[in-house]
Every structure is written in structure tokens, then in C-alpha cells.
Structure 1
Amino acid sequence: MKYAAFLLGMAVMASAIAGQSDAVPSCYDSKLPTKSVPLDTELFVAIDQSTLLDNALMQSVADNIRPLLAQNNGFSIITFSAYTQGRYMEVKVSGKLDPAMDTSQRNDISKPLLAKFDQCMAKQAQYAGQLIGTALRNAFDGTSSEIAKSDVLGSLKAISLKVRESTARNKVVLLVSDMLENSSISSFYDKGQSVRKIDPAKEMKLAEESQMIGDFSGARIYVIGAGLLSDDANKSKRYRDPKTMQALSAFWQTYFEKSKGQLVEFGQPALLNPIRRN
């Protein structure tokens, strides 16, 4: 791919991210004004649609999202794969939950209005969960083993731009991906379409030369699905030796460090520990 075409693709991806609006209605209105405060935590779930998950892993994604649907938290569900094949990055849904009302403000509000507000707040997380559930189903239904390329590096750089713009106190990124680059920059597959034992230093040099380093602005990063192949979702798992997976993990550890992110766990394929809320 020519570099100019690549930059155009990056611009399209960033534009697709920036055009999305808040999908969760606020419980505050003109009668109940709220102060503008930074989000406590913002969660970015990025799903690689070239990675097929089994039912257990799909459920794991939902289970790790649910605890973060708390007051004054935000979320975005993003899909990506290979923009050269019409699979542009897309925000499926994004939103935020309202902060709690100050005690002093509650004391100045009539009981009927306060009861209506409390009822709305109690249902807000449930509504956000329904939006996320629909977005996840759409994202997973759109996954395919027929996608020939997977622009993981380019997609992560674009996602990092959205993460960097967040003003949340805590930023969390959940990457649902095999983390196997397969683009004009490099391929982490061998000829038999199994995972190639990469040279982390060599691959990092290629990423830097291609200007693929992002800026996750201190976000904590979790990966579900590392090293998965198309056959894995059908339970016909291919063997991946520990040294191959160690090299893959080492590359991404360095990549996220250079991209100002903290790789907390590299699920191969599942997370061993739940995502921390803060």
C-alpha cells in the first residue's frame, strides 16, 4: 500500500470515530442542571472483526464490561479490521452515565422531581448495558475468517487518538483481537496460516519506520484473544508453542510502552483476572 493511501485511510478511520454522539439520555435537564465534571473512567472496547471468538470468549467480553457501567463512567464499542477491504473503523455505540447528585443539590429539589431523577438513574446502567449488548452482537455477527488482511497497528494508532482526547481520570482499553498484524507493514502469520515466531525488535523497528506508534495517554490496556486463529472458534485448535506466544507478547508490551499505554494483561486467549475498575 502506498503511504499516501495509508494516510487517507487513517483520516477516514479517525473521522468515523469522531462522528459519533452520546447514546445514553441524561437524567439531568433544565430543572436539574448538573456540573460539568470529568468522567471517573472511560472504557474503549475495540473489536477486531477478523478474529473469531467462541461463545465463552464472547461472554467474557460482556462480563468484563459490566462492572464498569457505573455512575460517571463512559464507554465506546469500536470495530475494526482491514480498511482496505471496506472494513473501516466504526464506533458502534458510545455513551456516558451521569454523575451522582450532590447532597446539597438534592436538598433543594422537590420530592416528586427527586424521585423521578432517582428512578432514571437506577435504570441508566441497565439501558447502557442493553445498548452495549446490541453493539457487541452486531460486532461479533460481523466477524469473518474471509477477511484477508488485518491492520492491527494502523487501527490501534487511530483508536489511540480517541483515547488521548478523553478527559476521564482513568482510561481503560479492552482489545478483542488475535493481535496478529497482516498488512503491507508486516505479517505475523507463516505460510500455513499459523502464528509465526516473530522477532520483536525487528517488528518494532518496522512499526516505528511506518509511523505506527500511537498515544494512549496512560490508558490501562487488556487483550482478549491473542494468538487466536480461525480454526480455534470451531474447537480445532492449532498448537502454538510458548516461545512463539512469548515473542508476540513481548512485541505488544514494547509497542504499548512506546505508545504511552500500560499493557496490564495479554489474554492468550482469555483474561486470567477481571478488569480493574480503577
Structure 2
Amino acid sequence: MRRLLPLLVVGLLPMAAQAADERNDIPGCYPYAQLSQQQPAPSGRELVVIIDETVQMSQALQRSAWDHAMRYVRPGDSVRLYQFSAFLQNHYMKLQFAGLLDVPLQGKVRNSIGSKSLKQLDACLQQQAAFFQKTFGQQFVGSFGKPGEEIARSEIFGSLRKIAEDLASRPSQERVVLLVSDMLENSDFGSFYQSNRIRDIDPEAELKKVQQKNLLADFAGARVYVHGAGLVAGDSKGAYRSGSTLQRLEQFWRVYLQQSNADLAAFGAPELTADLR
């Protein structure tokens, strides 16, 4: 079993060269088992995880975000992971992971396959699931800000627009976005801070500024779940956020996402308590 994955990866090299335009960090099992003709269609669902590197997030909140992602993903899903920050040296928007999980064979098609091929396929699918969790997990954890590494700026609007442009070339039947961020813009465009505190923004006024700067995005009808909103490090000045401050923040992002062709399904301030659906 331990030798299976390296052999699988080697076996896929010719196929990967043919499909170089479609990044897939997860080695496929059907070509490996020589069952490409029997491969079921993918689910049409896509999970897009977007992590804001500028936010210092506790281990508990990081784990909660991971659990949300893992509860949602199932065989046949596409998964993408983006990291964004300020536009600084070594800190910028990156696609950290992109992969497609295979769907197991079922029913008559499965019954028509020989036992040797099925055994090889089933073993590979188990290995694929483990490979996905390990590889995606490493990139997931590595996308969060490092302790003691403080990034003063946060380009949320510009990063979301670029990510939406990247996704536009990848139509999907159903797209869910897990956005892990404090949702506090702090750039040359404008800042949601004032005197080291989160300021009480005027949602309507801020939205007009976003429109004037052409910073809306197009997420093609995605459902967006926010995790970490309003998060301020406990030792920072003004770490307290009032209910009305967070309410204004949520109101702004709800309308922003509506105008960016997306639906704000849940707003975790800071912890997301609703499951991804």
C-alpha cells in the first residue's frame, strides 16, 4: 500500500503532460488502474478556500476552518486553495493547491469490472484520499500567517477580484467559497481601521468607494462562508469589537458580495458556526 502512490504518480506523468493546461495536484486512480473508460463524471461541485495571510489566527480557529472544509468535501469534488496578503515581496495572491478527487465505481459498471482491477482501483482510491488530506492539509496550514510575522497591509478587495477572475475560466455547477479572513481592508484604497481600532464603517459609503475604484468581483453565483471576521489579536489595542461594529461590517460584505454575483451564506465573527452547504 505504501508503494502504491509513488507508482501511481509515475504512471500518471504522460497524462499530466497532455493535460498541462488543467492543474491537478491529486494523482488520478482510473488511468493508474487502466480503467479510464469507466471513470465516472465528477460531481460538478467546487470548494474554494481563500486564506488571508495577514490574519494571526489561533490554532483553534485554524482547526475549525479545516474541519468545515473536510466536512464539505466528498469524492468527485474539485478543491482549490488560495492565499492572499498585501502586494509585497514574497506576499501576494497565490494558488497553493488545486485538485480533483475521483468518484468510486458503483452499480452495474462496478459489477462488470474484474476483481483484480477493482482491487487495484479501490486501494488507489483509499491512498488518494489520504494523499489529498496530507497534501492539502500541508498547504492549508502553511497559508496562515506565521507567528511574529506581522503584515501591516491587507489587500482584500484587489485579491478577491483577481481570484474571481481566475475562477471565471473554470465554470462549475456548484461553487462554495470558504473565506478565512478578518475582512478588514487596510490598503492604499482605504482602511477599516482608525487609531489602531476597527472603525464603525458606513456600509453604503464604503460600497460607493469600492464601485468607483472598480473593485467589485464576479463570483458567478458562489455561496460564500466567512470565518474570522473582525478578528483582532488579543494583545492589540482596541481588541474589543462591539456588536454594532460587527453588524456594520457584515452588512457591508453582504451587499458587496451581492454586487459581486455571490451570496453571503454565513458570516463567522470570528468563528463560523454554520456548516458549508
Q: Using structure 1 for the length normalisation, give the TM-score.
A: 0.85
CA distance in structure 1 between the partners assigned to 2:276 and 2:236 by the alignment: 26
Contact 1:79 1:92 in 2 (8 A): yes
Cα drift, residue 19 of structure 1: 8.3
Describe the SS at the equivalent of 2:82.
strand
Contact 2:55 2:144 in 1 (8 A): no
CA distance in structure 2 between the partners assigned to 1:218 and 1:271 by the alignment: 20
Residue in structure 2 matched with residue 245 of structure 1 by the alignment: 246
**Structure 1: 5+ residue stretches without partners:** 1-17
Describe the SS at the equivalent of 2:171.
coil
CA distance in structure 2 between the partners assigned to 1:157 and 1:235 by the alignment: 29
Cα drift, residue 126 of structure 1: 2.1
**Structure 2: 5+ residue stretches without partners:** 1-19
Map Cα deviations across residues 97-134 of structure 1 (whole Å, 9 max, x no partner).
Answer: 01233534323322101111012123322221111211
Cα drift, residue 143 of structure 1: 6.6
2:153 corresponds to 1:152: no
2:114 corresponds to 1:110: yes
Query: Once the two structures are aligned, what percentage of the paired residues are identical?
Result: 35
Alignment-mate amino acid for residue 25 of structure 2: A
Root-mean-square deviation (Å): 2.3
CA distance in structure 2 between the partners assigned to 1:266 and 1:275 by the alignment: 12
Alignment CA distance shift 1:236-1:119 (3 Å): farther
Alignment CA distance shift 1:206-1:236 (3 Å): closer
Contact 1:45 1:175 in 2 (8 A): yes
2:32 corresponds to 1:22: no
CA distance in structure 2 between the partners assigned to 1:23 and 1:198 by the alignment: 41
| Count of aligned pairs between the two proteins | 256
Match of 1:176 among 166, 174, 180: 180
Residue in structure 2 matched with residue 200 of structure 1 by the alignment: 203
2:17 corresponds to 1:33: no
Structure 1: 4+ residue segments shifted above 6 A: none
Cα drift, residue 83 of structure 1: 1.2
Residue in structure 2 matched with residue 216 of structure 1 by the alignment: 219
Contact 2:55 2:145 in 1 (8 A): no
Contact 2:47 2:73 in 1 (8 A): no
Residue in structure 2 matched with residue 264 of structure 1 by the alignment: 265
